[in-house]
Structure 1
Amino acid sequence: MTAATGTSEGVYFPVRAKFPWGQFIQAAVVIVIVGWVIVSFVISGVFDFATVARYLFGPQIWAGLWGTVSLATLSTAIALVLGTLVALMRISNNRVLSGVAAAYVFFFRGTPMLVQLLIWFYAIPRMIGQVRIGIPFTDVVWVDQPASIFFTPFVAGLFALSLAETGYMAEVVRSGILGVDQGQRDAATALGLPRRKITTQIVLVQAFRIILPSAGNQDIMMIKNTSLAYTIGYMELLLTVSRIYYSNFKYLELLLVAAFWYLVLTALITFLQQFLERRFPAR
């Protein structure tokens, strides 16, 4: 690039920008390293790419993918609602509500999600025992079944992942609420607006804009956390590919298929997150 500079006498001298050799060399080094890694991966012979192509869009993989997406989407949606309630409890002036919310966050963030999943699937049905639904004090009974019938792998996974994620989402929402300028609350209070309207129409609206990046990250984490439901027999992506490679012993190829679809889901969520951030920027 060239530019012209002037002097008091009106004489102009062209100014040439220096070529960014440092940036060029850095980019070239990165490209070479990445290219070497990709080529080494392809020509290593460890993966049978014909098997990968065979199963990549197979009906079994689609079924497992649907299991992953449905469980992750529902769990994240429930966690966002419950996390908002827990966050509001944490910032409440009521010490009982604040203490209970803090204990909830501490417990569900402090214990592994896998442990919670196993408890919901194996322990909770035994604690409940028999489920009886009918008209009290009469012989009319509509449902009289063991609780284990109702706690299917999907139900147990939904409870476990939703409640565990609520602990994380509560802190995300609380950080967004605290990020809203206190002056706006004071101004709304001075105008005589009720506390509920201040919270729902002023604070939370802006808080959700602030937490969009963090909420997107939590959604991505939830996509990967659904793989934990593998341990209780829920038919998600990882269990699907594992059942296939147990029959054909193509372990690495099927794991590569799973990794590909996890990356695709992550890319889609990232795209949606960036779209929402542009559509609803933090103010």
Structure 2
Amino acid sequence: MHRRQWGPWLFAVLVSAALATVGHAAFTAKVLDPGVFLKYLFSPMVLEGALNSLLLGTTALFLAAAVGLVVALMRVSGNPILTAFSSTYVYLFRGTPMLIQLIFWFNAFPIMFPQLHIAIPFTGWVLLDAPMTSVITPHIAALVGLSLAEGAYMAEIIRGGFLAVDNGQRDAARAIGMRHSVVMRQVVIPQAARIIVPAAGNQYILLLKSTSLASAIGYLELLRISTDIYAANFHVVELLAVAGFWYLVMTAFATVLQTTLEKFFPHR
């Protein structure tokens, strides 16, 4: 005879009661006007902000993956200089808040390089000559900041994937004459991808939500547009609910993409 487990049932009742209390308070206070919510849910401005957030987060992920791959290869290279440089990069960019990094790059680039001058040597041809303030737009600063910050996390994810591949396979590949680059490309990376993809999918979701930080430097992403709208009409809760809805949609998109990629790299 099985003993009835009362603990989970008691916890379920408490959670249900808490949710019911919050729901009743929200309904009684009429904290959200459904009409206003539906009015702005598919507003062109809101949709533009959601698209900007999706494009920014996706582009930053690809750049961060490229940066993370290079940094991870540096950390496992065995070269003390490359290892020290990559370790310092990871420490700095993981150890400081992403918001500080975005504001820093947005303000630091124009100070460090007031004029961007790109020319072909010995030809006199100028490819670009413009003040840095016109080059480092909020979009560029957000893209650089998010990519470099996320690159530190991706570097550790990729390095963890590399280390999870048994050293015996590397030794066997070298024993039959494979070069180090071929071993990494044909032996290590395909197996490491099984570990990297799920973790990278989680980072993609976090990165999509972190695009909201770009509102601090004036980039017109989803949260910035939502705050601009409710600053004018004072429907704060409704606009935040609209923004939350589209972040959930982006999270669902990232989850589907992650699940699809995991099918190409099964764990077994």
TM-score normalised by L of structure 2: 0.91
> RCO (CA 8 Å, sep 6+): is it higher in 1 or 2?
2
Q: Structure 1 residues 33 and 271, CA, compared in 2 at 3 Å: closer, same or farther?
A: farther
* Alignment partner of 1:52 is 2:37: yes
Q: Structure 1 residues 179 and 137, CA, compared in 2 at 3 Å: closer, same or farther?
A: closer
SS of corresponding position for 1:144:
strand
Give percent identity, aligned residues only.
46
Gaps of 5+ in 1: 1-16
Q: 2 CA distance for matches of 1:276 and 1:156? A: 30
**1:128 corresponding residue in structure 2:** 113
> Residues 68 and 154 of structure 2 are in contact (CA less than 8 Å); yes or no, is this contact kept in structure 1?
yes
What is the deviation of 1:34? Answer: 4.1
**1:185 corresponding residue in structure 2:** 170
* Alignment partner of 1:270 is 2:255: yes
* Alignment partner of 1:115 is 2:115: no
**Which structure carries more helix by proportion?**
2
Q: 1 CA distance for matches of 2:104 and 2:252? A: 32
* Alignment partner of 1:148 is 2:133: yes
Q: Structure 1 residues 191 and 19, CA, compared in 2 at 3 Å: closer, same or farther?
A: same
Q: 2 CA distance for matches of 1:100 and 1:63? A: 39
> Residues 193 and 265 of structure 2 are in contact (CA less than 8 Å); yes or no, is this contact kept in structure 1?
no
Aligned positions of 1:6-155 closer than 5 A: 22=6, 25=9, 29=13, 30=15, 33-35=18-20, 37-136=22-121, 140-155=125-140
Q: For residue 74 of structure 2, what is the amino acid of its counterpart?
A: M
How many residue pairs were aligned? 267
What is the deviation of 1:143? Answer: 3.3
**2:239 corresponding residue in structure 1:** 254
Gaps of 5+ in 2: none
> Residues 206 and 282 of structure 1 are in contact (CA less than 8 Å); yes or no, is this contact kept in structure 2?
no
Q: 2 CA distance for matches of 1:192 and 1:139? A: 48
Q: For residue 176 of structure 2, what is the amino acid of its counterpart?
A: L
Question: Which structure is larger by alpha-carbon Rg, 1 or 2?
Answer: 1
Q: 2 CA distance for matches of 1:41 and 1:183? A: 60
CA displacement, residues 154-197 of structure 1 (integer Å, 9 cap, x when unaligned): 11111111011101110011111111122211221222221111
**1:3 corresponding residue in structure 2:** none
Q: For residue 116 of structure 1, what is the amino acid of its counterpart?
A: Q
TM-score normalised by L of structure 1: 0.86
Q: 1 CA distance for matches of 2:11 and 2:266? A: 31
SS of corresponding position for 1:234:
coil
What is the deviation of 1:89? Answer: 0.6
